[in-house]
Amino acid sequence: MTSLPTEEQKIMHEVVIKYKNKKTLKVLTALGEYLGFTIIDPNRKKNIYHINGTPVESGDPKIDMQDLTTIFKGEDIDAKTLRESTWQRKN
């Protein structure tokens, strides 16, 4: 049985690194893959659209959705069960 993450484990810390040499970015990217951190371009244009007046931001296409399987592994959760338990409609 796995334990739930503590509050400190849930916090996503953030740091800004400024660099001059483009080789530095390549090194940081490789290091990020090894150590498990991500690099985000603050100048990246966000694709935001609206559904019924609610803004929705497009996800990062580089995200590996297979990483989510470890979260739900052994939980016997499928899309129908998730919809029924989480997105309950008000009548």
Domain count, the chain: 1
Domain membership flag for residue 79: yes
- Summarize pLDDT for 6-53 with one digit per residue, the tens: 666 667 778 888 888 889 988 998 898 888 888 877 776 777 888 888
Give the pLDDT score at 80. Answer: 81
Domain membership flag for residue 64: yes
Q: Which structural domain, as residue segments, surrounds residue 58?
A: 7-86
- Summarize pLDDT for 57-72 with one digit per residue, the tens: 877 777 777 777 777 6
Which residue has tokens 């739900």?
72
State both tokens at 88.
């309950």
